[in-house]
Amino acid sequence: MKPAEFAYHRPGGVSAAVALLAGLGDDARVLGGGQSLVPDLNTRRITPRHLVGITGIGSLRGARKMAGGVRYGATTTHQMVEDGLVPDAAGGLLARAAAGIGHRAVRTRGTLGGSLAYADPAAEWPTVFAALDATVEVCGARGVRSFPARELPLSAFRSALAADEIIVAVDVHRLPPGRWWGLHKTAGAKGAWAASLAVVLFDIDERGTLCAVTLWLGAARDTPVQLPATELLLTGRRAAGLDVAAVLPGVAQDLGTVEGVSDDTARHTLRVHAATVCRALARAERAGRSSGTGRSSGTEGTGAS
Ligand SMILES: Cc1cc2nc3c(=O)[nH]c(=O)nc-3n(C[C@H](O)[C@H](O)[C@H](O)COP(=O)(O)OP(=O)(O)OC[C@H]3O[C@@H](n4cnc5c(N)ncnc54)[C@H](O)[C@@H]3O)c2cc1C
C-alpha cells in the first residue's frame, strides 16, 4: 500500500520543529529514521497530513561526554552506537544492545529517540535505558523537561510525550568500575524482535556473591518491567550455575504469574523469560571473570531458549 498524501517539513532547528508541531497539532508526526513510522504510514494505520523530519537537525545527532556520563542526541542511530562512533557510557552494553536490533539496514536509519518514542514493548532501548536509569530530555511548546527514561512508555506503543514534544537527548550515567552487566535477547531468529529481553547489572561482594542487583525485562508486559523479587532472590547468590529452576519463582512472582499454572502457553512463556534472565546472568558472570578488570564486557545472544 502507499501512504496517504502528506506534506513534508524539514525545520532547521529544535525550536522551529516544536513551533511547527504546536501549530499543526494532531495532524503532524515527527519523522526520525522512519523505520517504524513509514510502515505505519504505508499500511495507513496512521494518516498524518504533515511529517516533521528532524534528522537534518545537527544538534540532535551524535553524543558528547558530560560530567558523570554521556549525552546522546535523539537522532543518533543504532548503527552509530553499534560501531562505536559515539562513546559507550555503559562499558559496551549500549553497543551490544544496538547490534541486536533488527538488521543492519534498520540500524543505519533507526534512531534512539524514535525507538523510545515508539514505545514498542519488545524494543531494546526502552528496557536498556530503564535498567541504566537514564534520563530523557524533551522539548515542547511549554519548554524543556527531563524525566527518567523508565517513565516514558505508558503502555504498548503509547508514550508520555505530548503531541508537540520532541525527544532531544538521552543522558546515561557512566557505569562505575566493578559494575557488571549482561544482556540477553531471546528471539526466534537473528534480526527478529525479542520474545524476551533481560538486562542485568550487579556488583560482586568480597564473598564472590551478587549484590546491588538491578534486573529489567522487556517483551514481557506492555512496558519494560523491573523484577524486584528476582533481584532479591539473586542477592547473595553466585551467578555461575544459576539455572531456570532457581530463578523461576522470582520471575513468576514479578510477572504475577502463578508458578505451576495449568495453561501450557503461560508456563512456557514464563520459562522463556526465566531462561533469558539466566543467560544474561551467565554471560555477565563469564565476561566479568574473563575480563579480570571487575567490569563485565557482557554480551547478547539470539535464539530460542
Ligand atoms: C524489519 C525491522 C526490524 C526491527 N527490529 C527491531 C528490533 O529487533 N529491536 C528494536 O528495538 N527495534 C526494531 N525495529 C525498530 C527500529 O529500531 C526503529 O528504528 C525504531 O523503532 C524507531 O526509530 P526511528 O528513528 O526509525 O523512528 P520513526 O519510525 O521515524 O518514528 C517512530 C515514532 O517515534 C516518533 N519519533 C521519532 N523520533 C522522535 C523524537 N526524537 N521525538 C519524539 N518523537 C519521535 C515518530 O513520530 C513515530 O511516532 C525494527 C524495525 C524494522 C523495520
Q: Of how many residues is the chain composed?
A: 305
Are the CB atoms for 300 and 95 separated by under 8 Å?
A: no
CATH numeric code, 64-173: 3.30.465.10
157 Cα–ligand 1 center, Å: 11
**Element spanning 202, H or E:** strand 196-204
Are the CB atoms for 137 and 152 separated by under 8 Å?
A: no
pLDDT at site 261: 58
Using a 6 Å cutoff on CB, does residue 167 contact ligand 1?
Answer: yes
Rounded CA separation 239/217 (Å): 18
Check if 7-53 and 180-290 are the same fold.
Answer: no
Residue 235 scores a pLDDT above 50: yes
CATH numeric code, 7-53: 3.30.43.10
Q: What is the mean pLDDT of residues 84-98?
A: 97
If one residue of 10, 20, 24, 35 were mutated to test the ligand 1 pocket, choosing by the most ligand atoms within 8 A of its CB, it would be 35
Residue 174 scores a pLDDT above 90: yes
Would the ipTM clear 0.95, i.e. be above it?
yes
pLDDT at site 298: 41
Question: 545537527: which residue's cell?
Answer: 58
Q: What is the DSSP string of 20-47?
A: HHHHHGGGEEEESS-TTHHHHHHTTS--
Residue 9 C-alpha cell reads as 517539513
State the pLDDT confidence band at 304, using cuts at 50, 70 and 90.
Answer: very low
Give the residue extent of every domain in the chain. Answer: 7-53, 64-173, 180-290
**Element spanning 215, H or E:** strand 210-218
Are the CB atoms for 219 and 193 separated by under 8 Å?
A: yes
Q: Which CATH number fits domain 180-290: 3.30.390.50, 3.20.20.70, 3.10.129.10, 3.30.450.20?
A: 3.30.390.50
Residue 296 scores a pLDDT above 70: no
State the pLDDT confidence band at 259, using cuts at 50, 70 and 90.
Answer: low
Using a 6 Å cutoff on CB, does residue 35 contact ligand 1?
Answer: yes
